[in-house]
Amino acid sequence: MADYMTYETELNEIVGEYLHANGYEATLCSLQTENEEKGLPPMEVVHHSGFFFNEKKDLLLSYSSGDWETFFSIWNTLIPNLSDSDTAVQQLEFYLQIHFAIFPLRTATEVEDGVGITMKRFKIYLATHGAELSHHPELLPFFALPSVQNPSSHPTFQKLFTNSWMCDLRTKLKTFLEKFEKCPSDEPRLLVLYQKTMKQNKRDSLVERGSLVSGTVHETQCRRYAQLLANYQTLLGITADLVDSLEGALRGRPVSPDFIEGICSRFMGPNYSGFDICRPSSAAECIRASIASMSLEKEPVDVPLDIKRLKEDLVGSEECQRVFLLQALRWRLLRAKFGQPRDSVLHEYIFHDLLDCNLEVSFMEGFLGSSSSRTQQATIRLFNSIAAQHLGQRYLARSPALLGAIVKIVKSEEDALIQEPALGVLQKLSMMRSIQSFLIGADTMHWLLDILHHIYADGESLSVYMQEVAASLFMNLCKCTAGKRACVDNARSVLRILTDLLSHDVPDVSDEYQSQIQELISMQAVLVI
């Protein structure tokens, strides 16, 4: 929320720019009105060359007629903040201010009133921009213009009243506007950002598909490598035995038929059917024949899932079939080998958005809140298996709605077979800072304090898994500032629970979090209770 507030003004300007570019003027006026009501800085809507012609025409007309208000109203809209960084624009704007300041003296109509107003505006301009303009020596003499009684007769300012100076300044203005007309993008920034995002998404999609393909290739190569390594080790053993038998033969120790039988059996494996001792070279022929027909054993590769069809079956099937499907999805992930095979399965789930984590509403919310305990248990166990991997944690973190449903289960569920894996999901995700903030905002800290109090103070009997996971989740949430602040708000309960954690035999807590517990106990706000 804090990051959004930091960029709120710029975001509103981007939206306003898009509305103006597409002619939604009424909507833009409403946005500007609400922007002012919220006390935000005025929006600066950037115009683009697609609708620049009329503004350029109005600028030149205002210049010729001496209409200061209209000119700089359009100028500040078209060229927001450009004069703050561009020296040429600073000088041009300065001379334009001089032009409008002395314009009443040129026309000789209502001289006294007109000059008083225009010179006052020029004084205000010098007061606000004088610091930047003072770095240009050629502009310094004109700082005295408002103080001179009759500038048209003053030697320094006489050239300002010539027609050539006014025409030259108009030419510079026109040239600048023609150059500036080509500078802004023809497309609003919102559209540019959208196009970049779509291109990046397509690029990411291609990368993910490429990673899946490369993952399958790598998986096959790993299997072949494992088979080659096993054969290599077998050959090394056979070679060592053969060398020993040759050395023995040189010393006069004969080679027995049983030894040859054993070597052939180890070399050819189940394909070996024995050899005839009376037939010369029969063993060697069997080995050579086996080499010619030997091929690497191929393990079956998982067939890609039709995730769209699978989701339809999950939503429309009966409870029994739904539970089997959820269990099969979990087994497909868990029974894959660690490393690339398991990553490939998880990549497939994420790429096709199996849990609808990229949508605002996921069909999995209905499963988590189902009245059927079997559906709830199968769903939360699938979530727990996905959360066991870092990639799965990032995937689940995309859906606040699913996280909220899991928190609700943890707080309200009485069935340990459902509550424990749900708590395990939150504990696995709690290493992420965004999830820590979400859980603290969902008042999970108070629930954890209550459950830990029941465990250690009241002696409530809960499983070792529940104790360890609850304590681990509590310590993870205490790592962030909001978690420490929550500890301060419940200092008495926190101090009691921390001392109990140190005194009880909870291996994970005492090994991993002991230094953090000491840090929390040493907090001044916790000690002063």
Q: What is the pLDDT of residue 235?
A: 82
Same domain (yes/no): 392, 443: yes
* Structural domain contains residue 22: no
Q: Which residue segment(s) compose the domain that 126 sits in?
A: 46-180
Residue 380 has pLDDT above 90, yes or no: yes
CATH number at residue 416: 1.25.10.10
Residue 19 included in any domain: no
What does the block give as tokens for 384? 């727990």
pLDDT the model gives residue 378: 92
Q: Are residues 380 and 465 in the same domain?
A: yes
Question: 268 with 125, same domain?
Answer: no
pLDDT for 459 equals: 55
Confidence (pLDDT) at 425:
92
pTM of the model: 0.45
Residue 516, in any domain of the structure: no
Does residue 322 sit in the same domain as residue 461? yes
The per-residue pLDDT for 255 is: 77
Among candidate residues 249, 270, 293, the one where a domain is terminated: 293
Residues 476 and 440 placed together within one structural domain of the fold? yes
Tell me the pLDDT band of 1, cut-offs 50, 70 and 90.
Answer: very low
Predicted confidence band of residue 219 (pLDDT cuts 50, 70, 90): confident
Per-residue pLDDT tens digits for 50-90: 445 567 778 888 888 888 888 888 887 777 555 566 778 88
**Which of 482, 502, 520 lies at the terminal end of a domain, its last residue?**
482
Report residue 30's pLDDT band, with 50, 70 and 90 as the boundaries.
confident
CB 15 within 8 A of CB 190: yes
The pLDDT score that the predictor gives to residue 296 is 41
Mean pLDDT of 218-227: 82
Sign of CA dihedral 310, 315, 319, 323: positive
User: Is residue 158 domain-shared with residue 224, that is, in the same domain?
Assistant: no
pLDDT value of residue 7: 72
Q: Which two tokens stand for residue 138?
A: 């050629």
Q: Are residues 334 and 444 in the same domain?
A: yes
Give the mean pLDDT of 116-123: 84
State pLDDT tens for residues 90-108: 888 889 988 888 888 876 5
Residues 455 and 371 in one domain: yes
Tell me if 22 sits within 8 A of 187, measured CB to CB. Answer: no
What is the sign, positive or negative, of the torsion defined by CA atoms of 210, 212, 217, 221? positive
Residue 520 or residue 422, greater confidence: 422
Residue 383 reports pLDDT greater than 90: yes
Task: Based on the fold, state whether residues 81 and 115 are members of the same structural domain.
Answer: yes
Query: Could you report the per-residue pLDDT of 292-333, keeping only the tens digit for each?
Result: 554 444 445 567 888 888 888 888 888 899 999 999 999 988
Question: What total of structural domains would you count in the chain?
Answer: 3
**Residue 188 within any structural domain of the chain:** no
Between 282 and 250, the higher pLDDT residue: 250
106 plus 217 within the same structural domain: no
User: Helices 319-334 and 307-316 sit at what angle, rounded to 10 degrees?
Assistant: 140
| Residue given tokens 């690029």 in the structure block | 203
User: 44 and 77 in contact (C-beta within 8 Å)?
Assistant: yes
Last residue in a domain, options 459, 482, 505: 482
Average pLDDT over residues 422-429: 92
Identify whether 40 is part of a domain: no
Predicted local confidence at residue 210, as pLDDT = 61
In the structure, what pLDDT confidence band is assigned to residue 273 with cuts at 50, 70 and 90?
A: low
Q: Give the model's confidence band at 518: pLDDT under 50 very low, under 70 low, under 90 confident, else very high.
A: low
Say how many Å lie between the first and final Cα of the chain, rounded. 32
Same domain, 270 and 168: no
Reduce the secondary structure of 265-301 to three states and give it as a string. HHHHHHHCCCCCCCCCCHHHHHHHHHHHHCCCCCCCC
**Do residue 314 and residue 415 come from a single domain?**
yes
Q: Is residue 282 part of a domain?
A: yes
Q: Are 157 and 20 in contact (CB under 8 A)?
A: no
Q: Is the pLDDT score of 396 beyond 80?
A: yes
User: In which band, very low, low, confident or very high, does the pLDDT at 503 lie, cut at 50, 70 and 90?
Assistant: low
Residue 469 lies in a domain: yes
Q: How many angstroms separate the CA atoms of 24 and 183, rounded?
A: 23
What is the percent of the chain with per-residue pLDDT over 70, rounded to a whole number? 74
> Is 247 part of a structural domain of the chain?
yes
3-state secondary structure of 328: helix
Tokens of 427: 């504990």
Q: In b/e form, how buried is each residue of 423-443, taking b as 16+ CB within 10 angstroms? A: bbbbbbbbebeebbbbbbebe
pLDDT digit string, tens, across residues 157-199: 888 888 888 888 888 888 888 776 544 455 677 777 787 788 7
